[in-house]
Amino acid sequence: MTMVLFLCVHNSARSQMAEAFLRQFGGGRFEVESAGLEPGTLNPFVVRAMAEVGIDISRNATKSVFDLHAAGKTYDAVVTVCSKEAAERCPIFPGRAERQHWPFDDPSTFAGKRGRP
């Protein structure tokens, strides 16, 4: 099984979504986790958006990349999903994993109103 880690700054949105999508659509070929440099709280808009596509992440906890490293975790692939603007703060994970960067804007900076347009 391929071990994959998704990383971002807070592990509250982008990395959580990536983890959930790969778990849902990876056909059981991946063991997947996500973590952040400064774990925050799960973004309620992300929980709602994922529920709208049939994926429940409401019970997910945010995790620290430091805790995963301290636990001796290793991965085959590490994918960072920080925005281009936050690339210098995006965490790294030591080891021999294949590294990829998929930049996504930080949803916590989005402005707008709750509800539907």
Task: Give 77-110 pLDDT, tens digit per residue.
Answer: 999 998 777 666 676 777 777 888 888 887 776 6
Domains for the chain: give ranges and CATH numbers.
2-109 (3.40.50.2300)
Is 26 marked active-site?
A: no
- Candidates 30, 35, 34; CA nearest to 3 is 30
Helices and strands: H and E segment counts in the chain: 3, 4
- Active-site residue, from 4, 42, 90, 91: 90
Q: Is 90 a catalytic residue?
A: yes
- 8 flagged as catalytic: yes
Q: Which is the catalytic residue, given 4, 8, 20, 78? A: 8
Q: What is the pLDDT of residues 9-58, one digit of tens each?
A: 899 999 999 999 999 999 999 999 999 989 989 999 899 999 999 999 99
